[in-house]
Amino acid sequence: MQKDLFIAFCRVGLLGFGGGPSAIPLFHQEVVRKYKWMDEDEFSDTLALANAMPGPIATKLAGYIGYKVGGKLGCLNAILASVIPTSLMMIMLIGILQAYKDIPWVKNMSASVVPVVAVMLGILAWDFIKKSGDTLGWKKALTMMVTAGILMEVLNVHPAFIILIVLVFIFLPIKSRRVKA
């Protein structure tokens, strides 16, 4: 189990170009599809909570999933496997890119990663949209997505506050029902 954790999170650390958010589809691939450590719902919930907390998303996902799968050792294993390869590659590649940044093929290589990351994030977003529509109903899901988009992009509300507001609205009816009963 620890070997699988290390391999899975090392792969995410090595291939997660573009930062933590671009690694989310890779986490999904390893955790949900390949190793089946979580189902779609649990991964979505974990991702939502990880986004609401401070710090790098990749480290939070690795830590929680590693702990869930392999306890404290699994947590440490997954974090190290996702952080160490990324850190070493960053030091090495940034040094090389800085030395050769004015060469046209280096500029093209750097720019060509962007569309691939965009497609990966788009596929993950579409999966979340479909799941939201199926579980909440399409009208409610689309209303929430549009509202969240306006709050974040127009009014500059931090996503963590939006998630907290949604959680409050979810739990308020339950609390009021308990008080009345």
Per-residue pLDDT of the chain in tens (181 residues, 90 and over written 9): 899 999 999 999 888 776 777 788 999 999 999 999 999 999 999 998 888 788 888 899 999 999 999 999 999 999 999 989 878 888 888 888 888 888 888 888 878 888 888 898 898 889 889 988 988 899 999 999 999 999 999 999 998 888 888 888 777 765 554 555 4
The candidate with the shortest Cα–Cα distance to 82, out of 60, 102, 103, is 60
In a domain, 163, yes or no: no
In a domain, 121, yes or no: no
In a domain, 132, yes or no: no
Count of domains forming the chain: 1
Q: Which domain holds residue 59?
A: 2-114
In a domain, 173, yes or no: no
In a domain, 180, yes or no: no
Pair 26, 11: CB distance under 8 Å: yes
In a domain, 142, yes or no: no
In a domain, 131, yes or no: no
In a domain, 86, yes or no: yes
